[in-house]
Amino acid sequence: MMSIGLAALLLSFGQVGLSAKGAADSLTATPTTDTETAARSAIAAQARAFSAAYVAGDLDALLDIYTDDAVAIAGARDPIIGREALAAYWQPSDRFEVVRHETVTHGLDIEGDIAIDHGIYRGATRATGSEEVQAFSGRYVIVWKRGEDGVWRMSHDMWAAHDEPR
């Protein structure tokens, strides 16, 4: 049964179309079942796969980590809704390359086929033709959904940049 707090959070995501960014490298809560342990491991693997695809500029692999109807919110920008809009947003740039990306989970709540993940992300980019690396970081919230195929994917992805987290 879903806790009232988690149900309220999911309801608020649904009402305002929110979601999250980044994912789960360090999983903080103690799993209570083998199923939860497997879910945490699968979500952490998807988070690492997202970062690897982002750094590699592998748009297809990156998009496969989202549900087909996913919603992403990047800072104060308008929501990015659906696979086509996500593809346009995440299209690798010829102006810079991503040289590093990682997420660190500060909390991961799992209820059945829904998980809410929050933490920090950090990485670095380099302008094309430059040796100078520019760091970036921020906070994220992601709603993961386990599909009928058993794979966890991001249904809502929200992030906001800020200075290096403390």
- CA Rg value for the chain: 16
- Name the least confident of 5-9, 78-82, 113-117, 157-161: 5-9
pLDDT, position 164 = 56
pLDDT, position 22 = 37
Tokens at residue 30, please? 């103690």
DSSP β-ladder status, 114-127 and 133-146 = antiparallel
pLDDT at 129 over 80: yes
pLDDT at 156 over 80: yes
pLDDT, position 34 = 85
pLDDT, position 100 = 97
How far, CA to CA in Å, does 141 sit from each of 13, 43, 56? 10, 13, 23
41-94: per-residue pLDDT in tens? 999 999 999 999 999 999 999 999 999 999 999 999 999 999 999 999 999 999
SS3 content of the chain, % helix, strand, coil (to 5): 30, 40, 30
pLDDT, position 30 = 57
pLDDT, position 27 = 43
| All residues at 6 or more sequence positions from 39 whose CB lies less than 8 Å from its CB, including other chains | 110, 115, 146, 152
pLDDT, position 162 = 86
pLDDT, position 151 = 97
pTM: 0.79
22-41: per-residue pLDDT in tens? 333 334 455 567 899 999 99
In the chain the domains, ranked by start, together with CATH numbers, are: 4-161 (3.10.450.50)
106-127: per-residue pLDDT in tens? 999 999 999 999 999 999 999 9
pLDDT, position 5 = 42
Helices (H), 57-92: 59-63, 83-90
